[in-house]
Amino acid sequence: MTKKSQPQIPPPLSRRGGVVWLGWKLVIAFSVALCLLALLRIQLQYNSFTTLSFPLSVARSQTPLHKYSGDRPKLAFLFLARRDLPLDFMWDRFFKGVDHANFSIYIHSVPGFVFNEETTRSQYFYNRQLNNSIKVVWGESSMIEAERLLLASALEDHSNQRFVLLSDRCAPLYDFGYIYKYLISSPRSFVDSFLHTKETRYSVKMSPVIPEEKWRKGSQWIALIRSHAEVIVNDGIVFPVFKEFCKRCPPLGTNEAWLFLKQKRRNCIPDEHYVQTLLTMQGLESEMERRTVTYTVWNVSGTKYEAKSWHPVTFTLENSGPEEIKEIKKIDHVYYESESRTEWCKADSKPVPCFLFARKFTNEAAMRIVSEGLIGSSANKTL
């Protein structure tokens, strides 16, 4: 008999080969997971850059001023001081007799400086300094950081509905009543803002966050409605970019300037761009009067005031009399050459003088303003 042949059964896979195959499958799965995570991270970063076309995630007040639930809205005066307030005697006259329920005062000074009977001639400034102040250097991001600290402190009092930023050499051009009505009656912020075309301060390194078409320039002396102040204080995206890429060039001839130029950095003054650019990126230009309420003289040639410089002209005893102040008060429009735009000055849609404050004033000029009653009554002035 012939023996039946047994079917050939393939030998089983070795245990070692199975382990190797399983290992490859794990490697492939892990690689795919890493790729997916990388794509997700890129998408999240992109979203963080593009969300600036929408409102920031802040608790912006949508309550109109006439529905404010408090007794009355306050006007917050925010002073950015080098140390003390040299014109405190003038502001003392300005606030004298005014109801304290109508205003509040905040001062950013050097760390550790206290306003008391030994450091100021006005009780209105006693203990009004910020306790979390920082060292400020002109032309650096510390300037806008100090402004943000002032706004943050003022926002803690919900009665504060308007916020005006002032230098330690600012002088009011009208009495408190007129300035209060002017700012409180307007539902808009007053922010000097225009296209910047003559100088190239914008850096392409900002472009992932700040589009070049949103780049703006203007005076740092702003007057804000509450919702805009909240946007500035809660901004955690645009400010870091300014801190990194918007820096002024150090004085020429120094090692710092040589390194600055070697790195091909652009000269950039943060406080002339930050608020304007941030609010423009937020789509808030329609909620702004695109001008400042603080008058500053720049680039006046000859010997009438002083030589041209990066700093504004100083008003002295000689050029701060009634005629000079009257001329400032008569200004009713501002022309912006870079946009071929004439900004006719309005508050609550009504024509008004453009400027409520002016800078920079010496002590002697401020004394003249007080002694000649140039801050005096504006009862005959209507909005």
**Mean pLDDT calculated for residue range 339-355:** 94
139 confidence band (pLDDT: 50, 70, 90): confident
Instruction: List Cβ neighbours of 19 (8 Å cut-off, separation of 6 or more).
Output: none
Segment among 126-140, 260-274, 357-371 with least mean pLDDT = 260-274
**Mean pLDDT calculated for residue range 113-133:** 98
61: pLDDT strictly greater than 90? no
**Predicted TM-score of the model (pTM):** 0.79
What is the pLDDT, as a whole number, of residue 307?
A: 39
What is the pLDDT, as a whole number, of residue 65?
A: 44
Integer Cα distance of 350 and 383 in angstroms: 7
**Mean pLDDT calculated for residue range 126-138:** 96
Gyration radius (Cα) of the chain, Å: 30
115: pLDDT strictly greater than 70? yes
What is the pLDDT, as a whole number, of residue 75?
A: 98
Q: Which of the given ranges, 5-9, 63-67, 127-131, has the highest pLDDT on average?
A: 127-131
Pair 325, 374: CB distance under 8 Å:
yes
At 210-228, the pLDDT tens digits run 999 999 999 999 999 999 9
85: pLDDT strictly greater than 80? yes
Note the Cα 333 to chain centre separation in Å: 23
Pair 338, 195: CB distance under 8 Å:
yes
Segment among 5-9, 56-60, 90-94, 168-172 with least mean pLDDT = 56-60
What is the pLDDT, as a whole number, of residue 130?
A: 98
Integer Cα distance of 200 and 62 in angstroms: 37
Q: At what angle do helices 274-281 and 226-234 cross, to 10 degrees?
A: 100
How far are the Cα atoms of 240, 368, 376 from residue 371, in angstroms, in the given order?
46, 5, 10
Q: Identify the H or E element spanning 87.
A: none
Q: Which of the given ranges, 35-39, 98-102, 297-301, 336-340, has the highest pLDDT on average?
A: 98-102
Pair 288, 276: CB distance under 8 Å:
no
70 confidence band (pLDDT: 50, 70, 90): low
Give the SS3 label for residue 330. helix
**Mean pLDDT calculated for residue range 345-368:** 95
Q: Which residues pair with 108 in a beta bridge?
A: 80
236: pLDDT strictly greater than 90? yes
Integer Cα distance of 330 and 324 in angstroms: 10
What residue spans of 8-78 are helical by DSSP H? 15-50
Q: Which residue has the higher pLDDT, 123 or 24?
A: 123
What are the phi and psi torsion angles at 251 (to 5°)? -55, 135
Q: Which residues pair with 289 in a beta bridge?
A: 190
> In the chain, what are the domains?
74-250+260-295 (3.90.550)
297 confidence band (pLDDT: 50, 70, 90): confident
53: pLDDT strictly greater than 80? no
Segment among 180-189, 231-240, 258-267, 323-332 with least mean pLDDT = 258-267
Give the SS3 label for residue 358. strand
Matching residue, tokens 């529905």: 67
